[in-house]
Amino acid sequence: MADWNEYFSKTRPPSNLDEAKRTIQDFAVKHHQIGRNIVLVTSGGTTVPVESNTVRFVDNFSQGTRGAASAEYFLLHGYAVIFLHRQRSFEPFCRHFEGHNALDLLELQLDTSGAYRLTVDETRAPGLQDVVRRYKEVQNGCLLLKIGFMTLSDYLFLLRASSEALSPLGRNVMFYLAAAVSDFYIPDNEMAEHKIQSSDKNFVLNMSPTPKMLSPLVREWAKNAFVVSFKLETDMNIITKKAREALQKYNHQVVIANILQTRKKTVILITPEDEIPIWMSDQELDYGKEIEEKIVGELFRRHSSMISGQAGSGQVS
């Protein structure tokens, strides 16, 4: 049995799995019928519980900035977006007001009839109007479907279910796998049932490697889709080599290589045919421009070429 099959057979699925799969299927069919392409954006970090009745878990740094920003740019390029995200990480549109206290944005004014009216103080959140306008358009068109996860196992089950639901749409689907997925986990049958006691001296965590789900995703679950994975490292000397190895191993379309410390300023987009750096000047960053706009623009171009069957799309024959 392949290691991913064994993983799924031995791990408890999330309770909302069937419902989430149906919702994704309905969303995809509705948009596909009117000729709209779909992108599945994964975003944020996965937690790895240490106890079945979970008090503690292992987590990572990801806040979902990349995924949330990218989702907005995919919407601007006409995609319907399935946003598979870590609960309470950044979300499209809401992300612009992170750190703001909503009550500080509101003013109470007395009108001529003596009644109070709520107004918005836009000076406290520049760009608010534009964000709200875009958000309302997306809501009215039902263009954004948000599905939340918390743990690594929830994420993996939901990724498989989404891929299977999207599989009939073939090359009209892009997978944009920006989530920071834990490389290690504790199998259900090896996990402590109850809270580990502080009296346990020399507590040692024994973790197993997480099966690489890119392999079945590309080969079985969503064979004809356009798949973009991310490779994160902290050592500049190994990043390109590791990204290229991933591309060769999984035989998908694009790996985007990034370094933890510089990920908002520069990435390298790697395909079987080429390797292009994408970077932001200090001036662009000062103007509030985001690297995700350039990444998504480049991927949109390549995905469109793949759909129309042109060369240079990065499609693996």
Among 138, 178, 228, 306, contact with ligand PAZ (rule: CB under 6 A): 178
Q: How far is the CB of 194 from ligand PAZ (least distance, A)?
A: 31
Among 166, 180, 243, 270, contact with ligand PAZ (rule: CB under 6 A): 180
46-75 binders of ligand PAZ (CB under 6 A) = 62-66
* Spatial CA neighbour of 92 closest among 218, 176, 182, 217: 176
Alpha-carbon dihedral sign for residues 56, 60, 61, 64: negative
**Of 123-131, 177-185, 186-194, 207-215, which segment contacts ligand PAZ by CB under 6 A?**
177-185
Q: How do strand 184-185 and strand 208-209 relate by DSSP bridges? A: antiparallel
Does 92 contact ligand PAZ by CB under 6 A? no
Q: Whose Cβ is closer to ligand PAZ: residue 31's or residue 231's? A: 231
Q: How far is the CB of 64 from ligand PAZ (least distance, A)?
A: 5
Q: How far is the CB of 257 from ligand PAZ (least distance, A)?
A: 8
**Of 147-155, 226-234, 282-290, 294-302, which segment contacts ligand PAZ by CB under 6 A?**
226-234
* Spatial CA neighbour of 290 closest among 109, 99, 127: 127
**Of 1-9, 103-111, 174-182, 274-282, which segment contacts ligand PAZ by CB under 6 A?**
174-182
Does 232 contact ligand PAZ by CB under 6 A? yes
Q: Whose Cβ is closer to ligand PAZ: residue 62's or residue 153's? A: 62
Q: Whose Cβ is closer to ligand PAZ: residue 21's or residue 66's? A: 66
Q: Whose Cβ is closer to ligand PAZ: residue 65's or residue 253's? A: 65
For helices 65-76 and 128-140, angle between their N-to-C axes, nearest 10 degrees: 70
236-265 binders of ligand PAZ (CB under 6 A) = 258, 263
Does 14 contact ligand PAZ by CB under 6 A? no
Q: Whose Cβ is closer to ligand PAZ: residue 37's or residue 258's? A: 258
Q: Give the pair of three-digit tokens for residue 285.
A: 């960053």
Q: Whose Cβ is closer to ligand PAZ: residue 64's or residue 314's? A: 64
Q: How far is the CB of 63 from ligand PAZ (least distance, A)?
A: 4
Question: By CB under 6 A, how many residues form the interface with ligand PAZ?
Answer: 13
Among 156, 181, 222, 270, contact with ligand PAZ (rule: CB under 6 A): 181
Q: How far is the CB of 246 from ligand PAZ (least distance, A)?
A: 9
Catalog residues that contact ligand PAZ under the rule CB under 6 A.
Answer: 62-66, 178, 180-181, 230-232, 258, 263
